Structure 1
Amino acid sequence: MRPHRLNAALRFAILVSLLTTWSVRGVIVSAQTAPRGSLVEDRAAQKLVAAGDTRYEAEEVSKAVEIWQSVIERYPRSKVRFVAHMRLGDYFLERDRAYDRARVQFEPVADEANTDQTQRAEATLKMGICFYHARNYGKCFQLMRSVIESFPTSPEVNQAYYYIGLGHFQLAHYSRAIDALEKVGTTLSSDKTDGNKLEAGKRFFIKIEDADLAILGPETGVKVQCKSSGGDLEEAICYSVGRNVRLVLGSIASRLGTPIPGNGFLEVKGGDTVSVTYIDEHTAEKQLKVPVVMEVRVVGDGVVAITDGAFEETLSGVVLDKNVNLRVVDPDRDVSDEADSLMALVEIYRLKTDEELESEMTKRHATSDADNEDEIDRYKQVDRLEVTLIESELTEQQQGIARSDTPLDRSPQDESTQDESTASQLAATTNVPITNPVHAIHTGVFYGTVALVKTDTLDPNDQSLGALPSDQLRLTYLDQSNSDEGEKTLMAKARCLEGNIGGVRVTRAEISDHELRVQTQLKTASALTKIGNRYKEFGLKQKATEKYEAALDVCEEIMVDARRLGGRMLEETYVQFWHIYFEMERLELAATMCQKLQREFPNSGFVDDALLQLGEVAIKQENFRRAIGIYTRLVEMEQSQLRGEAQFGIAEVYQKMAEAAGERGGAELGDRAFQEYKKVFDHFPDSGRVGEAVAKMADYYYQREDFDRAIDTFETVLDNHPDAIFLDVILFNYGRCLYRMQRKAEARRRFDQLISEFPESPLASDAKQISMTLSQAGF
């Protein structure tokens, strides 16, 4: 390779991508920022949030929601209000499945007024998830891309790619779905990730930066050797991330196990170190083939759980006078081929009496701790026991999952043959012993049990735990080695119960509280509506109608109580009626409900959704002027996140009017539609419909044979809007423009791009024929 002027010391980093589990926001127009709250307000708000958390853990959900809402109302200037918004948003999203209500809570957290970037990234992601569940995929894509662009180092990036993939899958854009899903888990996205650590079982990422690498082509790989102190030796190939870039990236899968050199996996165990060696072909000092070595330490992030008898499902309750099953997953505690063990602590905590709490508070005020603002712990420890957990083998199902994780370039049938030959070659050259892993246990999963006895008399020498109903059992484990800095104390909790928690059957349910009854029935109606939607998607109209009518009956049954309660209950009932009528295509009734919602609850978070759907009703009824008026009203709502959707709706209406008018009167309306699409691009660049709007603009130019401007617009869409819904149409028209401009070689490349990226498109067959014709003509 050519010499370079940079220092010979290469910036050489090993990064491990941490996959996040399941749970986006673009640029949000911020309202006038309120002045910052005082520290006194922040402390008071934090106490209220903690009180809500305690109620939520105790399954007093409605009370917890009230407390979190009170934080927002009482402390509107405190930064802690964002935490309360997140709690409410998570509740509505995950537990209540009320996606519209959840989105309203996430919006202020994702606003630029919030200086906490971590909160903003999470809130933006979850807003996108709300739009995904509402099947507004355009807005979902826009918010997910915003997470990737605005918060590139956040762990939410992997989830953003995941939901982009799911959205494209729902739209039957399978190529783009695969492209997005392949990026899940490959993003080097966490600033907290220690470059000198490898989490066992996760993919091991290697990044090399060297000026010499800028001359490499995209297909040229750089070989890197990975050698573990336990005896494994593997090669990873790194590829350039772009043209004329001095950076290459590569990865290799790691897993717990006995080393088998050359099998495509990096087998490690706890306490191992991995040496990564890169050969610098030509240094600044004109030395050749200089090895650059970096070592990383194998760690594992622990997870603790209280489980059922099969050690699989996590429980939040345990039964007295039965054994409690404990599970700790910590990969770096697997240090040998034998079944390893670890120690954990199991404790019983009991709620303090009012007298005990009052006495503790009195003592605090009488001592120097009077200024201590930490909340008094409501629980006291009554029993504790150290337990030993033993590493266990995987079940057959888990083994099947593990076996499926094979290298992409190797088929499972010939894996054993290749492993054996490669292992022999590497062992001959490196003196690495080949061991037999048949009887080894390398799972990093540890199981244990402890007896839980119903008693108030405690024996310190007894090897069981004594507890009473409503006590709390806590499993605590100290994770000494993990991907973060320092040690971590992990804890799982469960409530002690009497009787049997299995096989519960409700024989009769009677809810006396009117509000709780209305809430329950609304959830029932929502579930029936969603089931009806699924039937309708599969073409089972009769089944769908039955579910919609059942949902309608439920709503009509609670309407009297909802009117009596008023407020939020009546608002949500209107919303549910509107959803049902719209899905049943009873559009007049849907419109009536939308109007009632706007009239009686003008500040409702559902109003913009209602207006958007009301505009769709007007379009279906071909009442175009009314649709334009409804959409215009929504565009004028400054704080709405759906203004761009409404502007796109206006443009669509003008386009439909132009098509209905025919050639004579359609030209002027077509020009107006173009101007309205342009407004989406100019005024709402963060709208989920901007890609489609630009595509419509390009089609306008094409129809008028303004090919230069059409091509500029096509390139804008392809460069800046990778999730636009009609990219296959854009590529096809792009190719047609180039063909008409006699740029036939470029036109063929665009047709080939369509065939490659959108093989499922109905335009792919036409594009293939055109491409073959151009190829035969020598282009």
Structure 2
Amino acid sequence: MKFYMTMKRSSFVNINSTLILLALCLATPVASQAQGKDKAKKDAAPRSRASSDIDRRAKHLYDKAMELMDYKQYERGLAMLNTVVRDNQGTTLAHMAHMSMGKHYLGLHKNKEALSHFLLLTRLLAPVPGEEQAETKQELYHEALFQAGFSQFQGGQYSACFPLFRRLTEVAGKTKWANKAYYYIGMSHYNLKNWNKAIDSLSLVGTEVEDAGEELGRIEIGQRFYAKIEDADVPVMRKLGQPITATIAVSSGDTEIITGVPIAGKKHEMLASAPTALGDAKPGDGVLQMIGGDTITVTYLDDSTMDGKKGVPRTGKVRAVSTGTVGFYLGDYSTPAYIAYPGQPQVLMLRDADLDKTPGAEKITLTVTSRYKVEAQANGESADAIDIFALEDDEKEVWKVRDSISVTLVETGDGPEIRTGNFIGRIKLAPLEEGVEPIMDDGVLHTNELDELRVTYTDEVHLYGDEPRESEATIKVSGSVNSGVSADQYVVFDALLKARKSSVEAEALTGLGGIYKDMGLDQRAALRAKEALAKIDQSSSIEQNFQVIWSKIPLNSNGKVNCSRLTLSPLQPHVWHLTDSTQNPSSLTKR
């Protein structure tokens, strides 16, 4: 009998080991050459340094390309990614660039272009029999297989995606990629109306569980807990109608009994699960209540072992943890904020169930800074003294702290006992006044437009390993917002511009009056005509003025112009005058 529990194991140790081995492999040829030739020993360091500089520059170019893609400057970003591929063929960085370009085209539903990148990666990264593949390349290979199959699925080529997804289940068993592959195999059968095959494949989703090994696994508080039981007696027990159960015990006091369900295509396996929640123990309610640091023990009684024993306990253990995240939010405490405004309070939220130690509201203090970007200063040294290997450092963004404050976040919740793990605080923002130096930690964070707010949180206990993990959040600062009621009126002071503006407004009013006239609204038409003539007094064009006056005449039922006078702009050498407000147009005289 075998017993598994779902968890996510840390990959930092393996990755670090890979990097160390890679460093040793790079160093070995240099050392062997040094034993035979002194000149090779002298040249090894410069070559190694130059190679390291090229790698750093390539990584810097890749990071810049991804930044441009994030800012939706796709043309420039794709050009940089193609440069990375061209100059670093066969490297992990080039494979990452191919993956990024494929995902971009896939997001635009350009399945043919995306598929070309993914299929290329599946060929370049295919494992060689007998050779151990680096973990980074192995992960890229698994993702390339999945993305290639998903490209076919998204393009409606359901039959073409089967070989890719099935290959993924073979090489990436007991990983998230295998579960995703089973899902899309099932959905492809569903779209092809192969109902039975669809059910069988979808039933396998979630059954690929990573082995815990000797290390104590971890589960995330709030996510559903799964336990897989493998026993050769399962078919017999199912035939006899005996339920296959396991007992879960949480170190903080909760206990639950979970019942396994069959897994399609795996007759010796059963899958049992239960929801988890942060809180005090409530045994027997069907939910696993736990707090950070709890140990969950699952016990299954094996009633028939190979040596004939009954009731042999088989146990497995995992640790309950919570991965902390910090961010800026709007006032509804659920929508992420992307812009902060001076003069308006900014909500800061932290989620980490590990910090909930007591039934009361916990508190935590974080430091928030406002910073601005500064240009890197040119190096004043001579050209001969410039270190070419330091040029990359000059290209990095340089930030300078403008102000900093400490913010106290309080755990929120309803009722006498607060067990949420959600901590909320408010940041008081104020625009920086000219000539005023901000005071650090005075309770008010001073900012300028285009500044950036930054907060970091160090998570000591999380899902991804034993090393402290830093969570960071940033947000851009916009200009100040006037939340009061105001009425703006724009005044034109230039005489010529003002005259032209009045002429355009007069024409618009005349057209509006004509519409009213056609609708039989004579009174409104006459009112618009009067307003148009008032605008003409400030106009600058004699021809336009006469045109407006002439087109205004039909707006009056008596066929006469209702105005006392017509005075043109003082910029014009002529002044036109109406002798009587009710005379016909023929009475217009030039003076």
TM-score (norm 1): 0.48
Counterparts of residues 227-266 of structure 1 (less than 5 Å): 227-238=249-260, 248-266=270-288
Matched with 1:111 is 123
In 1, Cα distance between equivalents of 2:263 and 2:151: 33
Aligned residue in 2 for 1:205: 226
String of CA shifts for 1:563-598, please: whole Å, max 9, x gaps: xxxxxxxxxxxxxxxxxxxxxxxxxxxxxxxxxxxx
Once residues 501 and 127 of structure 1 are traced to their aligned partners in structure 2, the CA distance between those partners, rounded to angstroms, is 51
Whole-angstrom CA distance in 2 between matches of 1:83 and 1:105 = 10
CA displacement 1:711-746 (0-9 Å, x = unmatched): xxxxxxxxxxxxxxxxxxxxxxxxxxxxxxxxxxxx
- What is the CA-CA distance between 1:156 and the residue it aligns to? 2.6
The unaligned stretches of length 5 or more in structure 1 are 1-9, 19-36, 395-437, 503-779
Aligned residues of 1:209 and 1:248 also touching (Cα < 8 A): yes
Residues 4 and 212 in structure 2, CA contact (< 8 A), matched pair in contact too: no
Distance 1:244 1:177 in 2: 16
Q: What is the root-mean-square deviation of aligned Cα atoms in Å? A: 4.1
Q: Is the 8 A contact 1:270 1:331 kept in 2?
A: yes
Choose which of 94, 97, 105 in structure 2 pairs with 1:81.
Answer: 94
Q: 1:102 and 2:119 equivalent? A: no
Provide, for residues 74-105 of structure 1, a one-character-per-residue CA deviation record: whole Å limited to 9, x for no partner.
233433111111222222333x4433333333
Contact in 2 for aligned 1:327/1:448 (Cα 8 Å): yes
Match of 1:450 among 427, 433, 446: 427
Equivalent residues of 1:17, 1:185 under 8 A apart: no
1:297 correspondence with 2:309: no
CA contact (8 A) 2:5 2:212 kept: no
Per the TM alignment, residue 393 of structure 1 is displaced from its structure 2 partner at its CA by 4.0
* 1:492-507 matched pairs, under 5 angstroms: 492-498=473-479
3-state SS of the aligned residue for 2:170? helix
Question: Quick one: distance in 1 between partners of 2:214 and 2:410?
Answer: 29
Q: Residue 469 of structure 2 corresponds to which residue in structure 1?
A: 488
Whether 1:276 aligns to 2:298 is yes
Deviation, 1:485, is: 0.9
Three-state SS of the structure 2 residue aligned to 1:16 is coil
Match of 1:122 among 115, 124, 143: 143
Is the alpha carbon distance of 1:180 and 1:330 closer, same or farther for their aligned partners in structure 2, counting shifts above 3 Å? Answer: farther
1:151 and 2:172 correspond: yes
- The structure in which a higher percent of residues are helix is 1
From the two aligned structures, give the one with the greater strand fraction.
Answer: 2
Asked if the contact 1:339–1:392 (Cα under 8 Å) also holds between the matched residues in 2, the reply is yes
Match of 2:375 in 1: 353
1:378 aligns with 2:386: no
Aligned partners of 2:78 and 2:482: how far apart in 1? 27
Q: Provide the C-alpha distance between the structure 2 equivalents of 1:501 and 1:147, rounded to a whole number of angstroms.
A: 56
Give the fraction of aligned pairs with identical amino acids, expressed as a percent.
Answer: 26
The runs of 5 or more residues in structure 2 that have no matched partner are 10-47, 127-132, 484-591
Of the three residues 469, 481, 492, the one matched with 2:449 is 469
CA–CA distance in 1 between the matches of 2:223 and 2:122?
Answer: 30
Partner in structure 2 of residue 15 of structure 1? 6
Report the Cα offset of residue 470 of structure 1: 2.1
Q: Is the 8 A contact 1:15 1:194 kept in 2?
A: no
For 2:354, the equivalent position in structure 1 comes to 332
Q: Tell me by how many angstroms 1:198 deviates.
A: 2.4
- Give, in whole Å, the separation in 2 of the partners of 1:331 and 1:165: 36
Contact 2:204-2:263 within 8 A present in 1 as well: no
Deviation at 1:290, TM superposition (A): 4.2
Q: Contact conserved, 1:203 with 1:253, CA < 8 A, in 2?
A: yes
Contact 1:17 1:203 in 2 (8 A): no
In structure 2, the partner of 1:49 is: 62
Give the superposition deviation at 1:496: 1.7
Please say if residues 345 and 386 of structure 1, whose CA atoms lie closer than 8 Å, have aligned partners that are also in contact: yes
Shift of 1:226: 0.9
Q: In 2, distance between residues paired with 1:243 and 1:104?
A: 34
166 and 316 in structure 1: CA distance in 2 versus 1, 3 angstrom threshold: farther
1:256·1:442 contact (CA, 8 Å) conserved in 2?
A: yes
Q: Which one has the largest radius of gyration?
A: 2
Per the alignment, in what secondary structure is the counterpart of residue 326 of structure 1?
strand
Matched with 2:328 is: 306
Match of 1:65 among 61, 67, 78: 78
Q: Decide whether aligned partners of structure 1 residues 171 and 213 sit closer, same or farther in structure 2, where only a CA change above 3 A counts.
A: closer
1:171 positional shift? 4.8
Alpha-carbon distance between aligned partners in 2 of 1:249 and 1:300, rounded to the nearest angstrom: 24
Assess if the C-alpha contact under 8 Å between 1:16 and 1:195 holds in 2.
no
For 2:226, what is the secondary structure of its paired residue? Answer: strand
How many residue pairs get matched? 428
